[in-house]
Amino acid sequence: MSYIKLLEVTKKFGEVIAVNNLNFEIGEGECFSMLGPSGCGKTTTLRMIAGFEDIDGGEIYAGDKILSSKKKGYYLPPEKRDFGMVFQAFAVWPHLSVYENVAFPLKLKKLKKDEIVKRTNEALKHTNLLDAAKKSPADLSGGGKQRVALARALAINPKVMLLDEPLSSLDPHLREEMRFEIKDLQKHYGFAIIYVTHDQSEAMALSDRILVMKLGVVQQIDSPLKVYNEPANKFVFSFIGLSNFLNVSIADNGIKTKDSGIISYGKYPIDNALKNQKDIVLASRPSEIGFLSEGGIPGITKRKSFLGEIIDYAIDVDGTEIRIQKGRKEPGPNAGETCHLDFFHPHWYSRDN
């Protein structure tokens, strides 16, 4: 069942359209990530849902309740939306104890003292902060401070948790640990998550669905697996995971690069819409390219790097660097050697995209 709805939502800053005609729904208990490069509109969208920014067009709903509507001239302020919010900055008050930080929004709501104690202690318990309740947040690590922010948001028992790049200031190991803690908290409390990030691995690990944005426009909304395996366009392919793009030409019954002969593309089906174009782009993932003794697209091995479980190759094909990643025990060429490439699962795009 959908809970948050955005209908034709638009936001402008002067003449710049930051978010353009945005439509999507988020279900109860769903983890929905908004992914895209800086300036694409994802944080602006989150701020409109939270109520920190008003909309310039469209409507936003939570269930059957209108949060913002331009045509009806209605705007519900953030403090009345009852959403939990965790920011990129830790946003904790160093002059208050950990307990007081978490209890503060409940006091603003003027809840009874017993209810405040109950909710605060439960939130501290589930974020592993009970032992630190009397400490100042200044005495905690970065991960500890972010747990305080999470606990404060949890204490209000939100139906929706809004997370704006909450882990970006943490070191990689702690970031990975916290992302699974967030997922565990979601399972326990049952709230929906709207998660803004530019970190693809975070979005893939946490999300039920991912929205990919570019310049304020939705490019694709789908499961992490489909966004990765079935990207809607060249931008989505390039933004999710490592990607290679190689200019090729369509020849009789095959494809060719500047330095190759005609190579059959029977196992590389080209979209019918592209077959009337002479020059197209072959897109591929580093893990979906193999080496042939002959007959593939020729290249020269520029670099061979041992990275533990994988070996990372940089292959020069017609002046384009192609990245290939193989298991450490799989055979492959050495630096300086000529090789032939086999593409297992290519995607095809117009050069105009």
Q: What domains sit in the chain, N to C, each tagged with a CATH number?
A: 2-237 (3.40.50.300), 242-350 (2.40.50.140)
What pLDDT is stored for residue 353 in this prediction?
67
pLDDT band at residue 268 using 50, 70 and 90 as cut-offs: low
- Supply 195's token pair: 């998660």
What pLDDT is stored for residue 198 in this prediction?
85
Does position 19 have pLDDT exceeding 80, yes or no?
Answer: yes
- Supply 257's token pair: 């690069």
| CB 164, CB 43: distance < 8 Å | yes
What pLDDT is stored for residue 177 in this prediction?
81
**CA 204, 208, 213, 219: dihedral to nearest 10 degrees?**
110
Amino acid sitting at position 314? A
What pLDDT is stored for residue 185 in this prediction?
86
User: Is residue 351 left, alpha or beta, with left meaning phi > 0 and alpha meaning psi from -120 to 50?
Assistant: alpha
* CB burial string 239-262: b at 16+ within 10 A, e below: bbeebbbbebebeeebbbbeebee
| Residues paired with residue 231 on neighbouring β-strands, in sequence order | none
Per-residue pLDDT of 171-222, as tens digits, reads: 777 788 888 888 888 988 899 999 998 888 888 988 999 999 999 999 999 9
| CB 32, CB 66: distance < 8 Å | no
- Long-range contacts, stretch 99-108, CB < 8 angstroms, 24+ apart: 99/124, 99/133, 99/134, 101/137, 101/148, 101/151, 101/152, 102/129, 102/148, 102/151, 102/152, 102/155, 103/155, 104/152, 105/152, 105/155, 105/156, 106/155, 106/156, 108/79
* CB burial string 275-307: b at 16+ within 10 A, e below: eeeeebbbbbbbbebebeeeebbbbebeebeee
SS3 69: strand
The residue length of the chain stands at 353
Does position 90 have pLDDT exceeding 80, yes or no?
Answer: no
Task: With residue 126 as reference, give the H or E element that holds it.
Answer: helix 113-126
pLDDT band at residue 105 using 50, 70 and 90 as cut-offs: confident
Does position 276 have pLDDT exceeding 80, yes or no?
Answer: no
What pLDDT is stored for residue 252 in this prediction?
72
Supply the DSSP string of 195-215, one letter for each residue: EEES-HHHHHHH-SEEEEEET
% of the chain with per-residue pLDDT over 90: 55
CA 11 from chain center: how many Å?
Answer: 21
- Strands 217-222 and 209-214 turn out to be antiparallel
Does position 35 have pLDDT exceeding 80, yes or no?
Answer: yes
Q: What is the largest CA-CA distance in the chain?
A: 79
User: Which of 171, 109, 118, 181 lies closest to 149, judged by CA?
Assistant: 181
